[in-house]
Chains A and B, each alone.
Chain A
Amino acid sequence: MRVPLSKIARPGWGIAFDTRGNSADLSALSLPERVCVPLQQHIGSAATPVVKPGDRVLTGQPLARAAANRLGAAVHAPLAGRVQAIARQPGPGRTGLAVSIESDGTDERWPGYTAHRDPLRLSTSALRSAVVQGGIVGLGGATFPAGVKLNRGSGVDTLILNGVECEPVISCDDALMRTDVDAMLLGAQIMLRILEADSCIVALKDGMADALQTVTTALQTLADDRFSIAILPPVYPAGGEAQLIELLTGREIPAGGLPWDSGAICQNVATAAAVAHLLRSGEPLISRIVTVTGAVVAPANFRVRIGTPISHLIAAAGGYTDTSSRQLIMGGPMMGIELPDDSLPVVKATNCIYVPTIDELPATAAELPCIRCGDCATACPAHLMPQLLLQAQATSDTERMQSLGLQDCIECGCCDYVCPSKIPLTRRFVAAKQELWDIAFEKRRAAKARERIAARTTRQQRQQQEQADQLAAQTHNVSDTDTAHQKLQELLQRTGADREDPS
């Protein structure tokens, strides 16, 4: 069967990075001696622990379940061993409760999962709850809980399997497509079934020749005519969800909306593979592929258990080189976060550990005034005019910032990258957004409080009225002073009860 293949033209926005030669093959990695698994590795709320210190856990055993009725995801034991502590620990980007486990070296599997020979025969609700149970989150970096995104009846007709890897230097998706393509495609079929969608586009980046070959061959064998392949130009951030949907379907996520409002959703190629591993072999999300690159002796991709200390990966990659800047970045050079040191654990969001060389990082250049060159506007994938946003920000004109689309900024950093005046635009927009958010939050809280007070006042007035009516009816046998006293007593009781009222 011929697999439909389309090549997407280079968009006007973004930054063209030349695809670097990457070592996409998987290298072997020993099990770490201990892991540290943060209970919150995604947006939403932290998971609730179901083990306690001293417990022996097996590989894949649930450590914590997603908080009920909240956005979140479960976490599982990445290896077999003893729970040493559940305590607040610094993690990449956030400090919070984490489960530390010392490995006993057995890697004994938890038997609590069923492996299905043919997961595609399961009901959609069974599939979906398995995805939730398995703690599957988007592995592209945003770690949005996959179960939430995979919703029946959301009107999604297109599933995009995102293997574009929009940031330079990262190659974990490339490695996944080359080494785990069957799982990826099965996962995609499962997702299509959950979504009741009828088309799936596998999106790759121009230059991923081997991955393209692998995916094409696998699709030919699979002969599922819902699949097609799209090759994206090596432009950052073509692999961003909103941009990818636009480039592939011509549709946009409406402002303030959610991805599925566009009728298409993206799932990372590794997420799809994780879904397949879960249902076919009963393995929850306990590992992922991580690119270790930059100023290390032997840059490589590893399949890493979640919670593994980053130092373990660095050692496996031969250690730092002389040209290393001794800076650690989790993620890519455009959106990655800087880590204070390599003792932190790998989490579900860790797609890459990038050690820049000294000359890859810009010297902190003095910021010059904006010369209105417009390069930032040309580069902005959201079609904003960062130079005007900057002006509005300088005068704290929040209204103008909002009408200029501050909320639509995806914080991709393209504007900073191109700016000849070296203005940290993204950082300012992030701060301004946070401020707006805080203001809105305060407003909501104040409004809620006002509502509560108003409701209570009317309730009290009603009660008083009722009591007055009752009292009026009873006056024939109770003296006036007694009435007044009783009324006061009652009122006091009610207001006391009111205070407990959780509304």
Chain B
Amino acid sequence: MSGRHAPHWLSRNTVPLTMQRVIIALAPVTLCTLLWFGVGVISNLLLLVLFCAALEAAALTLRQRDVRAGLADCSAIVTALLLGLTLPPALPWWLLLVAAVFAIALAKHVYGGLGQNPFNPAMVGYLAVLIAFPDDVARWPQPAFAGMDQVDAVSAATPLDSIKMQLNQMRTMAEITAQPAFGLLAGRGWEWINLAALGGGLWLLRKQVISWHVPGSMLLTLAAAYFLLFAFTPATQPSPVIGLLSGGTMLAAFFIATDPVSGAASDTGKIIFGIGVALFCFGMRTWGAYPDGIAFAVLLMNTAVPLIDRWTAPRIYGHRERPR
């Protein structure tokens, strides 16, 4: 009799709108990265967007899905941008292609496409090339604001890297942060990139694209962990401020760990997810072999998601116990 089924009103929120907002929120951090690392960032981003979109279209065609709808949801673009912002600038095209293949073809479409991937595609792509080509991927050039005051054009360690190396050489934090590679708050350039990501992230929070649970718990845990060690041994530990404004911290907190598909379902689950990412990341930064453990941390927590979802299912109205 009646074609329409309640509810007759639907919110205006859609997946493409969500993704477009994420892209807009990435603008400040993209701009900042561009300012400090030059045009190599642009070539990375352009190539990755191209590769990811092409791979997405190819995968959808192979899987006999609607290619236009699949591209229109913009999720491949978001993956491309996140990859581009976590990889050092001006990488060779073939390396970017490998990253895109791992992210889109393997991590996403092999598992069934949008919504089905248990792992964060961008992080899978990043880790694949980091492990395969560590010399290209682990090293970043010295940041130089708008190409001026070129300190050292050759690839060097990131601030996190150099802190770790120099601490091993028995330098103190005070000595290290006095070096020109450090700015007001943290690594020169990096501090601005992180602040820009924070700004974009806060806008996403305000637009309710993401909830506070993951970034809140992750950043608080990270700050607390840094603070604990720092309070006892301030001379040989980076401060919480450095910890929060280095590497991909803010990008991960607001844009990567908040990926809904590979994240936990319930609010409590999201808090646990954030805490887990922070702890793994802190552990790897402090004691691990890689300077920035964020990608590992996110993927590790991705594997824990089914478990977290079972533990944290909310108690249903009228029931005494949680569903199992």
Q: Taking beta carbons and an 8 Å cutoff, which residues of A are in contact with B? A: 15, 168, 242, 246, 252-257, 327, 329, 331, 333-340, 356, 360-362, 365-366, 368-375, 377-378, 381-385, 387-388, 403-405, 408, 411, 413-414, 416-422, 424, 426-427
Contacts and interface: CB of A to CB of B under 8 A. Distances in A.
B118 to A, nearest CB: 10
A372 B265 contact: yes
A373 B259 CA distance: 8
* Interface range, B side: 35 or more
B7 A426 contact: yes
Interface string B99-136: 00000000000000111100000000000000000000
B40 interface: no
B319 A408 contact: yes
Contacts of A334: 6-9
Contact of B9 (A333, A372, A404): A333
B94 interface: no
B4 A420 contact: no
7 contacts: A255-B317, A337-B2, A337-B6, A371-B15, A383-B317, A403-B323, A421-B14
The 5 closest A-B pairs by CB, nearest first: A413-B7, A338-B2, A369-B115, A255-B318, A373-B260
B215 to A, nearest CB: 15
Given A403-B324, A408-B318, A420-B15, A371 B4 contact: no
B323 A362 contact: no
A422 B2 CA distance: 19
A237 to B, nearest CB: 11
Interface string B247-270: 000000000000011010111001
B265 A420 contact: no
- Which of B10, B69, B270: most chain A Cβ within 10 A? B10
- Which of A360, A366, A369, A418: most chain B Cβ within 10 A? A369
Given A372-B260, A372-B261, A372-B263, A405 B319 contact: yes
Interface of A is mostly: loop
A168 B8 CA distance: 12
Interface string B2-24: 11111111110111011000000
Interface stretch (B192-200, B227-235, B307-315): B307-315
A252 B7 contact: no
Contacts of A427: 5
Given A368-B69, A420-B17, A382 B6 contact: no
Nearest to B318: A255
B180 to A, nearest CB: 44
Interface of B: 1-11, 13-15, 17-18, 66, 69, 73, 75, 113-116, 211, 260-261, 263, 265-267, 270, 309, 313-319, 323-324
B317 A252 contact: yes
Nearest to B316: A405
A156 to B, nearest CB: 17
Contacts of A372: 115, 260-261, 263, 265
A246 to B, nearest CB: 7
A387 B98 CA distance: 33
Contacts of A378: 211, 267
A383 B315 contact: yes
A421 B15 CA distance: 6
Nearest to B267: A378
Contacts of B309: 388
A255 B316 contact: yes
A368 B70 CA distance: 9
B119 to A, nearest CB: 13
A310 B287 CA distance: 74
Given A334-B7, A371-B115, 6 more contacts: A252-B318, A382-B318, A420-B13, A420-B15, A420-B18, A426-B6
Contacts of B114: 368-369, 371
Given A254-B318, A385-B266, A408-B319, A370 B7 contact: no
Contacts of A360: 8-9
Nearest to B315: A383
A242 B4 contact: no
A496 to B, nearest CB: 46
Nearest to B115: A369
B69 A340 contact: no
